[in-house]
Every structure is written in structure tokens, then in C-alpha cells.
Amino acid sequence: MGDSAIARPENIMRGVALIIAAALTISLQDVVFKIFSSELSLWQIFALRGILAIPLLMVVLWMRGAHRGVVHMALQKWPLLRAVFITTTFLAFYAAIPFLSLSTVGAANYIAPIFVALLSAYAIREPVGLLGWLGVLLGFAGVVVLLRPGTDAFSLWSILPIIGAAFYALAHITTRVKCQDTPLPAISLAQNIVMMSAGVLVSILLIWAPSDAEFVRDYPYIFGIWSDVALMDGLILVILAGFTILISVLLAAAYQAAPPAIISTFEYSYLVFVAIWDTLFFGITPTFTSVTGMALIVIAGLLVLRRGKAKAAKFRR
């Protein structure tokens, strides 16, 4: 991954707008996931969502005349590897949701910018710069402040989103270096194929070699087999299928548009959206500490954006 950064396009404002849109969509998906998916296992959701999302994506591509060659491009090595990284991220994130608060899971997952910055600096040689490092560290400090009120943040389950964060960074570095010219529909299709495959394969494994009855009783969301799908469950799966297509396109487009170290900082906006949904849907009012954490995250984003503009101006000269 030692490709030169000079040839990579940089449209920072477009990348920032796309990643904020992705963060908003992910936050809405997580609200739907947390409210309506308690009756289905994680693997059943991933499998059924993929079964719905893939035909839906292909129909949309066919209507736009953009379906030719998409399957072949989606099944190439780098789009599939990127999809494996993203799938691991989402599995780790959603596996932790029943056992941790949404803000805690989200905050733990946003250690990813640290990994992205390190990989950008040492793997693909895209310098982060002083303001960039300051922004990333300040954003991380904001995450730490947000974690403080939640005692469940230090449970063993909180390790899962940290693992997911590492794979998230790998996915976006792969997007930047190896999938720069891969069409967004192919990236989205690869991601949905891998997510669906993961759900189907683990579901088959759980049927073939069922877990201990005590594990199934205590953690049906992770170790349980498929259950009946009611009409409401079906509607929610359709909504989640639409979300997953939109999210995969927005994420890939954002990281194709600008350097990962810049874009990843603005993913912190997810935590702001979660705080809003907590108030609207769950009646949880943000505390002074959580507002302070969000303020640190916003300042971090502004610092990194300023660094990106300065870099772009220097390059033009």
C-alpha cells in the first residue's frame, strides 16, 4: 500500500458532505435496528437484509443502465476484501448493541480515526500534519468525555466496537488506495454480497453445530437460530436493506473524494445525531458532559477541515 498520494483526487468539501450524510443515515439505521430487531438474530438480519438489498440494488442499476459489468467488478479481490473489513465492523458493532448503550458503542467505535490516521501516515504516506493530528486527538478526547458517564463502557462487550474500529480503518484505507477507480455500485454490491454471505454461513453453522443451550438462552441475538418473520419484521428488513445500500455508497464515495485522515474525523458527527435521536425517541436528555464531548468533536472537525484547506491551497501554489 505504498502508492503515491499525488494522483489521488481531493475534493474535501464533497467528501465531508458525503460522510456527514453517511453518519446521519447510519444513526437512523441504528435507531431502527435497536427498536425493531429484537425478535430476530443478528445473522438472520444480515442474511435477509442482503437477500432483499441485492435484487433491489440490481433493479436500481438496471433502471439507470449502469448494471453492465457491475457483478464482475464487485467480485474482484480488493472490493471483496474491503467488504470483508466493513462486514466485520458492522458485525462487531451490532453484536454489542444489546449489551451496551448506543452512545457507548458508537463512542468506542470512533477510535477508528486514530487507526486511519496511523495507516494514512505510515502505510499510504498521506501526511496528517500538525492540525490534523490535533484534530484527531481532540476528537478522541471528546469520545473519552462521552464515555465517562456510562459505566457499561468498561465491560468486556466494549472490546467488540474497538475491534470493529480497527477493521473500519482498514476498509477505508483500502477504499482510498485499491478501490479508487472502482464504481460505487460495484463497491455497494460487493459489500451486500459479503454481508449476506456472512449471515447465511453463520446461520448454517449454528444449525449444523448448535451452541450450548445456556448460551442460546442468555444470548439468543448472537447464538440463536432463525425465528419466524412477522409482517412488521419484513417491513423493517426492507427499510434496513435500503439503508445498507445508501450507506455503502455514501461511505465509499466519501473516502474516494478526500484523504481518510480528514474524512474520518467528520464521522464523529454520528455521535451528535445519536444524541438527538436519544432525546426524540428514548427521552434521554444530553448531559453537560455529553454536550462538552460533542463540542470537542465539532472543534476537532473544524481543525481538520482547516488543515485540509491549507494543504489544498499549498498544493495549488
> Does residue 6 belong to any structural domain of this protein?
no
Q: What percent of the chain has pLDDT over 70?
A: 85
Q: Measured between alpha carbons, how far is 261 from 5 in angstroms, rounded to an integer?
A: 13
> Does residue 41 belong to any structural domain of this protein?
yes
Q: Measured between alpha carbons, how far is 225 from 210 in angstroms, rounded to an integer?
A: 8
> Does residue 7 belong to any structural domain of this protein?
no
> Does residue 5 belong to any structural domain of this protein?
no
pLDDT score at 167: 93
> Does residue 189 belong to any structural domain of this protein?
yes
pLDDT score at 25: 95
125 against 186, higher pLDDT: 186
310, 183, 258: which is closest to 16 by C-alpha? Answer: 258
> Does residue 167 belong to any structural domain of this protein?
yes
pLDDT score at 37: 59
pLDDT confidence tier of residue 123, bands split at 50, 70 and 90: low
Q: Look at the block and give the residue holding cell 491549507.
A: 310
Torsion angle of C-alpha atoms 104, 171, 268, 314, degrees rounded to 10: 160
107 has pLDDT over 80: no
> Does residue 2 belong to any structural domain of this protein?
no
Considering its fold, how many domains does the chain have in total? 1
90 has pLDDT over 50: yes
Instruction: Kindly report the pTM of this predicted structure.
Output: 0.76
**Structural domain range at position 192:** 13-316
Q: Distance of alpha carbon 14 from its chain centroid, rounded? A: 18
Q: Look at the block and give the residue holding cell 460533542.
A: 294
pLDDT confidence tier of residue 197, bands split at 50, 70 and 90: very high
> Does residue 128 belong to any structural domain of this protein?
yes
Grid coordinates belonging to 238: 426492507
Torsion angle of C-alpha atoms 203, 204, 209, 213, degrees rounded to 10: 30
pLDDT in tens, 234-277: 888 888 888 988 988 898 888 888 887 678 778 878 888 888 88
Overall average pLDDT of the 270-288 stretch: 81
